[in-house]
């Protein structure tokens, strides 16, 4: 057994690769903008001022105003808060049941696992956006069905990854050894399972949030998600699109914000090989 494994050539611990650092930094900045922004910016994102319609960037309005003369800075801050918040809630609502059901399936096996696998397969067989549209039909323009529909499609990833990983860990000899030494299921869960699945869940969470942000803006852009005048990034793009010729940068601003949010999350989520 004269292997290289005995020697350590690993990257020194505690330092994230540059890409992940950049992603994290980007998210912190955007997070500040989304959380503190709406409090610091006095302007009401819905207050209209037709005299300032499509005001240029840098004048009375720092980032200009849209066709109704609403402050774009205020609308972007509120939009970012909405996207972030909704994505975070969606991720939580998908991750919690997904992880718990995954653990249950791996632990109990048998019928529990078969039933959960079947449910997961059914959800996967439905196109995700269709599920959301179906729920939205009940209460158009509301937050609740949007968020519920998205988490209903996103939990499967958490469930599948948790189940597969937990199952392979549970099959390892050190779990059998721990049981023979008298350790209970609770100890095994906290000390042996969670440390293995936690990093994977963190990565999945970032991906799920990115997916949720894109989905919410997409749905609002095709006018089935959140309705105007809610300052939602996707619907802002669509509202400003007719004025593209006069104010091209105005249209690009919400789009840029979406790109930066998703980029930050994707960079943060990338594996250690990055």
Binder among 122, 196, 249, 259 for other proteins (CB under 8 A): 196
Binder among 168, 172, 185, 227 for other proteins (CB under 8 A): 172
User: Residue 110: which region, alpha, beta or left (left: phi > 0; alpha: psi -120 to 50)?
Assistant: left
| Alpha-carbon torsion (129, 134, 139, 140), positive or negative | positive
- Choose the stretch contacting other proteins; rule: CB under 8 A; options: 2-10, 138-146, 204-212, 247-255: 2-10
Binder among 22, 68, 192, 243 for other proteins (CB under 8 A): 192
Helix (H, G, I), strand (E, B) or coil at 152: helix
- Taking CB under 8 A as the rule, does residue 180 contact other proteins? yes
Omega of the bond prior to 229 within 30 degrees of 0, cis? yes
Do 73 and 132 meet the contact criterion of CB atoms below 8 Å apart?
Answer: no
Binder among 140, 195, 248, 271 for other proteins (CB under 8 A): 195
- Choose the stretch contacting other proteins; rule: CB under 8 A; options: 93-101, 188-196, 216-224, 242-250: 188-196
- Taking CB under 8 A as the rule, does residue 13 contact other proteins? no
**Spatial separation of the C-alpha atoms in residues 53 and 23, rounded to whole Å:** 35
Binder among 39, 125, 181, 186 for other proteins (CB under 8 A): 181
**Spatial separation of the C-alpha atoms in residues 235 and 146, rounded to whole Å:** 15
Binder among 44, 176, 246, 272 for other proteins (CB under 8 A): 176
- Taking CB under 8 A as the rule, does residue 186 contact other proteins? no
- Choose the stretch contacting other proteins; rule: CB under 8 A; options: 42-50, 93-101, 150-158, 192-200: 192-200
Q: Where does residue 26 rank: exposed (0-12), middle (13-18), buried (19+ CB within 10 A)?
A: middle
User: If binding means CB under 8 A, how many residues of this protein chain bind other proteins?
Assistant: 23
**Spatial separation of the C-alpha atoms in residues 241 and 102, rounded to whole Å:** 44
Interface residues with other proteins (CB under 8 A)? 1-7, 9, 172-174, 176-178, 180-183, 187, 191-192, 195-196
């Amino acid at each position: 057994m004269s292997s290289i494994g005995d020697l350590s050539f690993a990257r020194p611990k505690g330092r994230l690769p540059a890409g992940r650092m950049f992603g994290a930094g980007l998210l912190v900045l955007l997070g500040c903008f989304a959380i503190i922004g709406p409090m610091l910016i006095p302007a009401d994102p819905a207050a209209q001022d037709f005299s300032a319609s499509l005001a240029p960037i840098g004048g009375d309005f720092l980032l200009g105003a849209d066709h109704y003369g609403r402050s774009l800075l205020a609308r972007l801050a509120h939009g970012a808060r909405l996207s972030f918040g909704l994505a975070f809630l969606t991720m939580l609502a998908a991750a919690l049941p997904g992880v718990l059901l995954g653990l249950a399936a791996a632990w109990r096996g048998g019928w529990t696992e078969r039933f959960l696998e079947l449910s997961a397969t059914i959800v996967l067989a439905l196109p995700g956006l269709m599920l959301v549209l179906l729920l939205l039909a009940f209460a158009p323009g509301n937050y609740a069905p949007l968020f519920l529909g998205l988490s209903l499609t996103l939990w499967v990833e958490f469930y599948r990854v948790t189940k597969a990983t937990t199952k392979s860990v549970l099959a390892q000899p050190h779990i059998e050894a721990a049981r023979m030494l008298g350790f209970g299921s609770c100890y095994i869960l906290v000390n042996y399972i969670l440390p293995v699945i936690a990093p994977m869940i963190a990565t999945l969470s970032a991906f799920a949030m990115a997916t949720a942000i894109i989905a919410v803006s997409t749905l609002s852009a095709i006018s089935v998600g959140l309705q105007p005048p809610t300052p939602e990034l996707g619907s802002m793009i669509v509202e400003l699109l007719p004025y593209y010729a006069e104010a091209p940068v105005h249209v690009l601003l919400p789009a840029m914000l979406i790109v930066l949010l998703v980029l930050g999350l994707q960079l943060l989520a990338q594996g250690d090989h990055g």
